[in-house]
Amino acid sequence: MPTFDIFRGHYRDKYAVWIEAVEGLAAAQKRMEEIAAERPDAYFVFSIHDRLVLAVTDTTAQSEAGSQKSKNAGAA
């Protein structure tokens, strides 16, 4: 079964950070979503064999919305 790499950062960013490798594309996509839910940021799944980005998620907007809700809840 092929292995896919998960990176944090934008796929065009040369400073993207490798997070982990996962066997199987479906498992890699699921794991990327789990990581993104735990630590909002941009993430992508990369196939070293095909040299292609196969999946992308960006949860930074969700994080900012949550921060704004927290700020608004504290203001009275």
- Model confidence over 5-46: pLDDT tens digits? 999 999 999 999 999 999 999 999 999 999 999 999 999 999
Degrees to nearest 5, angle at CA 7 with 53 and 45:
30
pLDDT of residue 61: 82
Alpha helices in the chain (DSSP H): 25-38, 60-74
Mean of pLDDT values over 55-62: 91
pLDDT of residue 46: 98
pLDDT of residue 65: 53
CA 38, 13, 3, 20 dihedral sign is negative
Enter the tokens of residue 36: 């993104």
CA distance 48 to 13: 16
Other Cβ atoms within 10 Å of 22 Cβ, number? 19
